[in-house]
Chain A
Amino acid sequence: MKKGLIFSIKRYSVHDGPGIRVTVFMKGCPLSCWWCHNPEGIAPGVESLLETRKVGDLEFSEPAVVGKYYSVGEILEILKKELVFFRQSGGGVTFSGGEPLLQPEFLKDALMACKDLGVHTAVDTSGFCPWPDLEKILPYTDLFLFDIKHLSDTRHLEHTGVGNGSILQNFRMLIQSGKETMVRFPVIPGINDDQDHLMRLREFLAGTGKGNITRISLLPFHKTGSSKYRKMGLPYRMEDTEPPSAEKMKELKAFFSETGIKVKIGG
């Protein structure tokens, strides 16, 4: 069986689907969103960077590897430790990234094994992948967390590096398939929060078979990733952008609630 390249596994993850979850962050992403807060998840290979940590006032640096190959069995070993929490909370595993569908074979194997273990499965995706890859994991995925970043193809290309044609097409197909889906909309000031776009997005979501969309999550932009860019020597293009205010987020919540779909600020 193929191994999967993973850059982080987080336990007591409570914002990536229902209950207490383990989120498996898979490395490699075809998008490069300006606001990405996991830039270490973008490149599809093992990277190394300098990790600096403090002991008292002294700083020590040593090379740290980002990305490790896991077998499905190794993932299961970690999940088994969490079964008691899954059972109590109705939680499970979420495959996120990066883009998990960039490693479709491994993802499918892992999801199948999780289902065999009786674990609730979620996939957090940008939707940028060939439809057959998505289709293959449908039977083993209980919940999709699907990012919609921008409805304009050109703006999408500008800010994420890819157009949104296949993403929106996949989204429609996914909704048609009847799978439970939660939409995630990152609210990025100056990029996708203009009134015109918001109106279009609301219309789009309300019109796209909302029965299967169980939630719209509004993810406010935040800058917690900026230090990672510095550490990795990458340019950070969002330095001058401020996070949306709490009031603004509340307004947006009310705005999207008019779709009739449950809206939540945060995951």
Chain B
Amino acid sequence: MIISDRVKKLREQSLAAPEKLSAERAQLLTRFWKSGAASEMPVPVRRAMAFEYILRHKELFIGDGELIVGERGPAPKETPAYPEICVHSLKDLDILNSREKVSFKVDEETKRTYEDEIIPFWEGRTNRERIMSLMTPEWLEAYKAGIFTEFQEQRAPGHTVLGYKMFRMGFIQLKEEIREALAALDYFNDPEAFDRAGELQAMDIACDAIIMFAHRYSGELARLAGLEKDERRRKELVKMSEVCRRVPAHAPETVHEMLQHYWFIHLGVITELNPWDSFNPGRLDQHLYPVYKKQKEEGTLSDEELYDLLGCFWVKFNNHPSPPKIGVTASESSTYTDFCLINLGGVKSDGTDAVNEMSYILLDVIKEMRILQPSSMVQISRKNPDLFIHKALDIIRTGFGQPSCFNTDAIVQELLRQGKGIEDARNGGASGCVETGAFGTEAYWLTGYFNLPKILEVTLNNGIDRRTGRQVGLQTGFASDYQEFDEIIEAFRRQVKYFADIKIRGNNVIEKIFARWLPVPFLSLLVEDCISNGRDYNDGGARYNTSYIQGVGLGSITDMLTSIKYNIYDNRKFTWDEMNRALDADFNGFEKLRYELIYNTPKFGNDDDYADRQAVTVFEAYYDAVNGRPSARGAVYRINMLPTTSHVYFGSVTCATPDGRKAFTPLSEGISPTQGADSQGPTAVVRSASKIDHLRTGGTLLNQKFSPSFFEDEESYNCLTALIRSYFSLDGHHIQFNVVNAETLREAQKHPELYRDLIVRVAGYSDYFNDLGEDLQNEIILRTEHEDV
């Protein structure tokens, strides 16, 4: 692919545009709410009317040279706020504006609007306040201690990916489906028929709203075409106007229409609310291929046009950073990225190899565009050809962190185990970081990270938080009370269950809050079977519903338990008294002891069963506490093992640990070994990581840092391909490669100005190295570099 000047320019503009907070959506919503126009309506209808109001009144944006149109804010990188979820205080706005990392500019007018209109109306009635007021003291205590985080406190549930259906359908057809569902309502036997009617009516309004929004664009494009002097551009504007007239009202018939169709849908979802993680088009190569092929055969699509359209489409994602958080919680996840993870490859719904010409075209686009969003991944099934992996490695080797590699055969089994139909499973993939889902048919919500090492810390301290001295857990005894190692495991199991109960109880309240107060009729249109069920996505309307709690710090807790077993119980190298004094002193004055913990103690990630056994123990304890439990919206609780950046936050609340880790430094990420603890090379890491049962999770994350020397020729490609395939034959879910050398990163830290384009794989996604906090930067540098000497 050769990037055209048009795409190059749009890409540069997107990279250079400053992130700004826009008050537009918040102001429109406030005005609508204040008007009382819908105050007597059922909640879903009211929300749909608000959605319509925003789309009717928001500013349109059409950039020079753009082929795909539509922005969530008034202009690229201008990010709206969602005051019904949580409202930024004036102090928050100042912090956002001035903070060094991931700043969002807030101009004076926005601040005034907040002060005069938005804050006075929403303060005291946001969903975050509603949630916090309904949580139990135990929940609040554990939350503050950093035992778990809460996904839905500042964002709406989401984590949903568009499936096949919506690439084949227009909203006029959906309105027909809604009519049918309304006609089929059974007021005699179904006590919820009335509620379903309200929901369906809301969905119908949402259909009209998105069509109206596209038509506004169509009109504006036609107007601009009338003013345009340049004949070539004028023709483009006319065509774009026609496209926006047709989609998303009608089913798209060309690649151009498909991309614009999807983009309106994307904007609809992220305007309605701010769902985790941002919506994404899923199996894009599958969706585009038939239309692409048809157009190619007809001769109605040149390569130049195709790449231009795809380039313009790619830029759109990058224009949409994730909405900034409020208060201090920004430190839980300091990133702009909104986790749009495009899936390539895998298998078709009939189980055959899904890699097609479009898979390679899109890999080309990813390579040439080299931007943060959308993120990308390759699904690798044993049915996919090696060439597909080699093409992915071509991009990975450039150190850009994309695409990451996923095991389709594992994903299908994970979904089948959860009870999905075989075709729905094969149509699935991973979204966000590594989360498994059935695309277009499942509402799979992430609900929060779970700090496993902190729970062990509490277990060793009679339920008391070592950092604050507060009683947060069960009083299961102090470390020195445990006569046998197994007693610690037993107590740990009880504490995990205790905190999982607290978390799940909270979740079940929060799910009901969203079902009752924050339905999402537009998103519900897109996920089967919300229409035929007449039920909202936020109320269990989807065909499949899953609630995840994400375990964090597997490598760290494994090393902690291994160290305790090895040094205190099995070999009696130290007593608990010595260990505790060292931990209390954060190893100051106990450096020799720390040396023993680091260098002369078995560690996870080296294919050493002595250590790896503890990973399995922790995994099973966690799995038992969560898996299979019912949720309030009719979902089932499952676990997955991924941290995003929470291992840094969780580390910052966790004191010194028995594996030699200093207080408040990051925990291990995903299921990767503790930073620097793996010394036996990648096959040993892969073997250790595969000892837990990935198929009983909804995703695990394994990060492997490689120096570029592992990618030098075809033989090394073959070895990496074999490494990936081996891990996947052991049921590993996901592996990603960070290709960069530590020296480069240190240089980047010293001279950030010279490394502005440096992208690194953080944990399931990529980010600009310069945008990461110093501790996260240091952690990435520390991750074992498998130098090939």
Q: Is B729 an interface residue (CB 8 A)?
A: yes
Q: Is B687 an interface residue (CB 8 A)?
A: yes
Q: Is A82 an interface residue (CB 8 A)?
A: yes
Q: A14-B715, A56-B591 are in contact. Are A88 and B725 (CB under 8 A)?
A: yes
Measured between beta carbons, the chain B residues less than 8 angstroms from A20 are 683, 719, 722-723, 726
Known: A10-B681, A12-B682, A88-B726. 8 other contacts (CB 8 A): A11-B684, A14-B715, A19-B719, A55-B595, A60-B591, A84-B730, A85-B726, A91-B722
CB distance from B708 to the nearest CB of A (A): 14
When the two chains form their complex, are residues B723 and A85 in contact, meaning their CB atoms are under 8 A apart? yes
When the two chains form their complex, are residues A12 and B681 in contact, meaning their CB atoms are under 8 A apart? yes
Count the B residues whose beta carbon is within 8 Å of the partner chain — how many? 30
CB distance from A182 to the nearest CB of B (A): 12
Report A's interface with B, CB cutoff 8 A: 10-12, 14-15, 18-20, 53, 55-56, 58, 60, 81-82, 84-85, 87-91, 224, 266
Measured between beta carbons, the chain A residues less than 8 angstroms from B660 are 55
Q: Is the interface of B mostly helix, strand, loop or mixed?
A: helix
**What are 19 A-B contacts defined by CB distance under 8 Å?**
A10-B681, A11-B683, A12-B683, A12-B684, A12-B786, A14-B710, A14-B715, A14-B788, A18-B715, A19-B719, A55-B594, A55-B598, A56-B591, A60-B591, A85-B723, A89-B721, A89-B722, A89-B723, A89-B726
A85 to B680, CA, bound (A): 14
CB distance from B668 to the nearest CB of A (A): 18
Q: A11-B680, A81-B607 are in contact. Are A60 and B722 (CB under 8 A)?
A: no
Q: Is B789 an interface residue (CB 8 A)?
A: yes
CB distance from B620 to the nearest CB of A (A): 22
When the two chains form their complex, are residues B681 and A55 in contact, meaning their CB atoms are under 8 A apart? no
Report B's interface with A, CB cutoff 8 A: 591-592, 594-595, 598-599, 607, 660, 680-684, 687, 710, 712, 715-716, 718-719, 721-723, 725-726, 729-730, 786, 788-789
Measured between beta carbons, the chain A residues less than 8 angstroms from B715 are 14, 18
Measured between beta carbons, the chain B residues less than 8 angstroms from A19 are 718-719, 722
Q: Pick the contact of B719 from A14, A56, A58 — CB < 8 Å?
A: A14
When the two chains form their complex, are residues B591 and A58 in contact, meaning their CB atoms are under 8 A apart? yes
When the two chains form their complex, are residues B719 and A53 in contact, meaning their CB atoms are under 8 A apart? no
Q: Pick the contact of B716 from A14, A56, A90, A91 — CB < 8 Å?
A: A14
Measured between beta carbons, the chain B residues less than 8 angstroms from A81 are 607, 683, 687
Measured between beta carbons, the chain A residues less than 8 angstroms from B718 are 19, 89-90
A20 to B727, CA, bound (A): 13
Q: A11-B681, A12-B786 are in contact. Are A85 and B722 (CB under 8 A)?
A: yes
A74 to B786, CA, bound (A): 25
CB distance from A8 to the nearest CB of B (A): 11
Q: Pick the contact of B591 from A10, A15, A55, A266 — CB < 8 Å?
A: A55
CB distance from B383 to the nearest CB of A (A): 15
Find the B residue at minimum CB distance from A15. B788
A248 to B397, CA, bound (A): 25
Measured between beta carbons, the chain A residues less than 8 angstroms from B725 are 88
CB distance from A194 to the nearest CB of B (A): 28
A27 to B730, CA, bound (A): 34
Measured between beta carbons, the chain B residues less than 8 angstroms from A10 are 681
A82 to B684, CA, bound (A): 9
Query: Shortest 5 CB-CB distances between A and B: which pairs?
Result: A89-B722, A12-B681, A88-B722, A11-B681, A14-B719
Measured between beta carbons, the chain A residues less than 8 angstroms from B719 are 12, 14, 19-20, 89, 91
Measured between beta carbons, the chain B residues less than 8 angstroms from A87 are 726
A21 to B786, CA, bound (A): 15
Measured between beta carbons, the chain B residues less than 8 angstroms from A15 are 788
Q: A14-B719, A84-B726 are in contact. Are A60 and B687 (CB under 8 A)?
A: no
Measured between beta carbons, the chain A residues less than 8 angstroms from B687 are 81
Measured between beta carbons, the chain A residues less than 8 angstroms from B726 are 20, 84-85, 87-89
A118 to B788, CA, bound (A): 27
When the two chains form their complex, are residues B716 and A85 in contact, meaning their CB atoms are under 8 A apart? no
Q: A12-B723, A56-B591, A88-B725 are in contact. Are A224 and B681 (CB under 8 A)?
A: no
Q: A19-B719, A85-B722 are in contact. Are A224 and B789 (CB under 8 A)?
A: yes
A189 to B599, CA, bound (A): 38
Q: A20-B722, A91-B722 are in contact. Are A82 and B591 (CB under 8 A)?
A: no
Measured between beta carbons, the chain B residues less than 8 angstroms from A88 are 721-723, 725-726, 729
When the two chains form their complex, are residues A82 and B683 in contact, meaning their CB atoms are under 8 A apart? yes
Find the A residue at minimum CB distance from B786. A12
When the two chains form their complex, are residues B599 and A53 in contact, meaning their CB atoms are under 8 A apart? yes
A91 to B681, CA, bound (A): 16
